[in-house]
């Protein structure tokens, strides 16, 4: 574990993925409180891999341009010695997937207006990214490509934050996706991604639509026992009508969900802002403050004492000289795993795409993944 990345003293490892790790970083601020952030860095054994470094820096450049209340904020990026790093705001709370899992375990349905409000905020963030231009006014054509509940963060203060643009596509990126590679979690891919068609913002809208269906039914939409069956379900895009099994499911909400999940992307919402508009009309825009408070209250109920544990650890971190050099590893702050993923890591999805395109089974069963 590094002890310093740029201006940030590293005090603990708090998350990690296949190609990158996330650390708790602290920067000394003259005359003020220490600045505590999440610092993402490529793992040492991959630091010399040009492909990974290129992907990582592409992500950093995309993130550095994004400044929206519904997108996790990037503070800076750079190189410390031979390690590339990205410093991001540290968020206290849980992922939307954590909340969904906790509710499902307790057989607790989410309020439909709350689910709609959360997805509207994600749609707001997506629309901002989709429309973003560079300093010369050229459209960046950003597509997230990995919208799903594990990449949406709910803070204890009631904020909704989309994060992990590690698979995003944008104009000007140096890393190009290899032919036959499908990026994103299989259960949240759009049909056109599996068909190897050029992707645009509408694949993000489909993924958000799948998330919305799951939040309002407390069931998985396309997920099956194996990735192959999941991919077939996505390709067919048969969307069960929740009104058939959930008495009182609003017609208005079903209309929104059905349009977001249209198999033909020309029949889908064409802009995330239009989806956000309809979701806000359903939940009531005047409910913004109340819904934000409810997000925090819900997490307090589901994860008893977790808010205080996170706040307490941050207070402790701000008082420490550094636990790293004392040989101890303090308990981490819960944080979503922000990772760099390689083409090899997506091999199973590529095999699925090949199968769906030519009708031949993969040479070996793909590993089970969410």
Domains belonging to the chain, first-starting first, are: 4-90+305-326 (3.30.200.20), 93-296+343-358 (1.10.510.10)
User: Active-site residue 146, yes or no?
Assistant: yes
- What is the full DSSP assignment across 224-290? -SSHHHHHHHHHHT----GGGTSTT--HHHHHHHHHHT-SSGGGS-SSHHHHHHHHHHHH-GGGHHH
Which of 163, 173, 9, 156 lies closest to 92, judged by CA? 156
Residue 361 has pLDDT above 60, yes or no: no
- Residue 131: what pLDDT? 96
Length of the chain: 370
Residue 199 has pLDDT above 80, yes or no: yes
d(CA 110, CA 103): 7
Q: Which two tokens stand for residue 325?
A: 């050099």
d(CA 166, CA 184): 10
d(CA 177, CA 172): 13
Residue 27 has pLDDT above 50, yes or no: yes
- Residue 168: what pLDDT? 66
Per annotation, catalytic residue among 146, 164, 204, 280: 146
Q: Which is more confident, 312 or 161?
A: 161
Q: What is the pTM of this model?
A: 0.83
Residue 83 has pLDDT above 60, yes or no: yes
- Show the DSSP H helices in the chain as ranges: 50-65, 96-105, 112-131, 191-194, 201-217, 227-236, 251-260, 272-283, 288-302, 306-319, 347-358
Lowest mean pLDDT among 31-40, 137-146, 271-280, 296-305: 31-40
Give the N- to C-terminal CA distance of the chain in Å, as an integer: 28
Query: Chain-wide mean pLDDT for the chain?
Result: 83
Q: What is the pLDDT of residues 130-184, one digit of tens each?
A: 999 988 888 899 999 999 999 999 999 999 999 888 666 765 544 444 433 444 5
Q: Which is more confident, 62 or 180?
A: 62
């Amino acid at each position: 574990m590094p002890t310093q990345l740029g201006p940030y003293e590293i005090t603990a490892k708090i998350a990690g993925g296949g190609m990158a790790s996330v650390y708790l970083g602290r920067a000394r601020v003259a005359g003020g409180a220490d600045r505590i952030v999440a610092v993402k860095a490529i793992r040492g054994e991959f630091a010399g891999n040009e492909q990974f470094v290129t992907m990582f820096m592409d992500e950093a450049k995309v993130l550095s341009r994004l400044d929206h209340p519904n997108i996790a904020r990037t503070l800076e990026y750079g190189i410390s010695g031979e390690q590339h790093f990205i410093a991001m705001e540290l968020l206290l709370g849980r992922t939307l997937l954590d909340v969904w899992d906790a509710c499902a375990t307790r057989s607790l349905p989410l309020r439909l207006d709350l689910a709609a409000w959360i997805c509207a905020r994600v749609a707001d963030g997506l629309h901002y990214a989709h429309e973003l231009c560079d300093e010369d006014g050229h459209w960046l054509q950003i597509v997230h490509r990995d919208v799903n509940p594990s990449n949406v963060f709910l803070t204890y203060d009631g904020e909704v934050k989309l994060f992990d643009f590690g698979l995003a596509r944008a104009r000007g990126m140096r890393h190009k996706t290899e032919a036959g590679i499908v990026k994103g979690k299989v259960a949240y891919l759009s049909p056109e991604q599996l068909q190897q068609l050029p992707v645009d913002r509408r694949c993000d809208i489909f993924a958000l639509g799948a998330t919305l269906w799951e939040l309002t039914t407390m069931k998985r939409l396309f997920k099956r026992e194996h990735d192959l069956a999941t991919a077939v379900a996505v390709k067919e895009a048969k969307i069960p009508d929740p009104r058939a099994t959930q008495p009182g499911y609003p017609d208005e909400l079903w209309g929104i969900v059905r349009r977001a999940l249209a198999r033909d992307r020309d029949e889908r919402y064409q802009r995330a802002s239009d989806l956000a508009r309809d979701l806000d009309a359903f939940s009531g825009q005047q409910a913004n403050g109340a819904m934000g408070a409810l997000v925090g209250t819900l997490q307090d109920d589901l994860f008893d004492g977790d808010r205080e544990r996170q706040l307490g650890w941050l207070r402790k971190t701000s008082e420490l000289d550094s636990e790293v050099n004392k040989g101890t590893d303090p308990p981490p702050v819960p944080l979503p795993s922000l990772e760099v993923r390689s083409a090899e890591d997506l091999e199973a999805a590529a095999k699925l795409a090949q199968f769906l395109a030519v009708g031949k089974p993969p040479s070996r069963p793909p590993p089970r993944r969410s």
